[in-house]
């Protein structure tokens, strides 16, 4: 009887320890400066990063094309950290390489760029860096100076490269000033790029001749609680969703300031939805008017000869009289039923 109880105890203990490990037994509340207040808690930010990182990596992996994801600076570093800790991480097919490259938005001349690429290539060869034929560069893209310079450096050093895609991770639409292959909108992005501790060393062109500053690995992982949380959550994702963990519960404090930001955001979203709905209705209305077409009899004005709409009372210039079939020369009110109709005198 005693052995039976002992066996049951050991069985439940093993199950408890397994569940504790799976659900974040080391979870803790993180005391870290979050920068400016937004509608997102720390837990929200990490969830957003984990969810999107998994989506990005899964998409690239599912193509079955051997690819290297390049992590060139602070902005993509936390996303790459998450990817490298997912169970699906398969470096044989899609690997991640940390190559610090920082331009800080500063453009250089063609001659200086050539020299920068030459020095950077020396650093890559010293480290025996090997890349697959297809490249995806992930970065926060604003002016595009940094990612374009990074792309140029990679192309100048690796003759085997067939294709380079640029993924922009930004907080809002339209931030990227250059064409990119994919723009990913994540409101939490500024916290990972500007607020949280650095994971990748900043390596500027002024240091390209110094190989000791070219560090191709994550830094300070052991003292970075954000990194600890991401690693722990990524290991069991997506089987265990971020919001179902102790990590999330402990770091999802919704303060009054966050509540206020959420209220403002909801109001903005509602206003945006209403504005988009009005635009769609206007487009449909105009499309119906164009399809209906037809003619209307204008009021003819003299000295000089012009037309006036009998409904909305707008008056044309003289060109509308000369080219009546060009309906865009007759500026009716937006709700006038004669809009898009051709003026025809009696």
289-293 long-range CB contacts below 8 Å, 24 or more apart? 289/337, 289/339, 289/340, 290/340, 292/340, 292/341, 293/340, 293/341, 293/342
- Residue 70 belongs to what domain range? 34-253
Q: How many helices (H) and strands (E) does the chain have?
A: 10, 9
CATH number at residue 234: 3.40.50
pLDDT in tens, the chain (346 residues): 455 545 544 554 454 444 444 444 589 999 988 888 888 999 999 999 999 999 999 999 999 999 999 998 888 999 999 999 999 999 999 999 999 998 766 677 667 888 999 999 999 999 999 999 999 999 988 888 889 999 999 999 998 899 999 999 998 888 888 999 999 999 999 999 889 999 999 999 899 999 999 999 999 898 999 999 999 999 999 999 999 999 999 999 998 998 999 999 899 889 989 998 988 888 887 777 667 778 899 999 999 999 999 999 999 999 999 999 888 899 899 889 898 899 999 8
Q: Indicate left, alpha or beta for 105 from its phi (over 0: left) and psi (-120 to 50: alpha).
A: left
How far apart CA 113 and CA 153 sit, in angstroms, is 9
User: Does 80 share its domain with 172?
Assistant: yes
Tally Cβ neighbours within 10 Å of residue 172. 11
Claim to verify: residue 297 and residue 243 sit in the same structural domain: no
Last-in-domain residue among 203, 228, 253: 253
The predicted model scores a pTM of 0.73
The reply to whether 194 and 320 lie within a common domain is no
111 and 204 together in one domain: yes
Q: Which of 12, 11, 132 is nearest to 63 (CA)?
A: 132
In a domain, 277, yes or no: no
| Same domain, yes or no: 248 and 147 | yes
Decide: 109 and 211 in contact? Cβ < 8 Å: no
């Amino acid at each position: 009887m005693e052995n039976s109880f002992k066996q049951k105890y050991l069985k439940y203990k093993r199950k408890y320890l397994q569940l504790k490990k799976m659900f974040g037994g080391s979870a803790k509340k993180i005391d870290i400066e979050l920068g400016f207040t937004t509608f997102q808690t720390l837990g929200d930010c990490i969830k957003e990063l984990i969810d999107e990182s998994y989506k990005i990596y899964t998409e690239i992996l599912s193509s079955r094309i051997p690819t290297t994801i390049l992590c060139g600076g602070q902005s993509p570093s936390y996303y790459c950290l998450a990817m490298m800790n997912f169970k699906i991480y398969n470096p044989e097919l899609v690997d991640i390489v940390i190559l610090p490259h920082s331009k800080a938005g500063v453009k250089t001349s063609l001659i200086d760029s050539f020299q920068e690429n030459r020095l950077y290539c020396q650093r890559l060869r010293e480290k025996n860096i090997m890349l697959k034929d297809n490249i995806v560069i992930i970065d926060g893209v604003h002016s595009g100076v940094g990612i374009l310079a990074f792309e140029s450096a990679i192309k100048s050093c690796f003759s085997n490269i067939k294709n380079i895609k640029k993924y922009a991770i930004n907080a809002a639409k339209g931030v990227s000033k250059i064409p990119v292959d994919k723009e990913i909108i994540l409101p939490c992005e500024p916290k990972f790029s500007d607020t949280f501790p650095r994971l990748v060393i900043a390596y500027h062109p002024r240091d390209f001749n110094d190989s000791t500053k070219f560090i191709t690995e994550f830094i300070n992982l052991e003292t970075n609680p954000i990194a600890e949380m991401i690693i722990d959550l990524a290991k069991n994702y997506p089987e265990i969703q971020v919001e179902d963990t102790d990590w999330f519960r402990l770091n999802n404090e919704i303060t009054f300031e966050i509540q206020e930001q959420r209220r403002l955001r909801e109001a903005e979203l509602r206003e945006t939805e209403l504005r988009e709905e009005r635009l769609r209705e206007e487009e449909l209305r105009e499309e119906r008017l164009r399809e209906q077409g037809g003619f209307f009899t204008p009021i003819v004005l003299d000295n000089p000869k012009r037309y006036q709409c009998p409904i909305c009372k707008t008056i044309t210039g003289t060109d509308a009289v000369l080219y009546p079939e060009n309906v865009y020369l007759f500026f009716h009110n937006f709700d006038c039923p004669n809009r898009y109709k051709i003026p025809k005198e009696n």
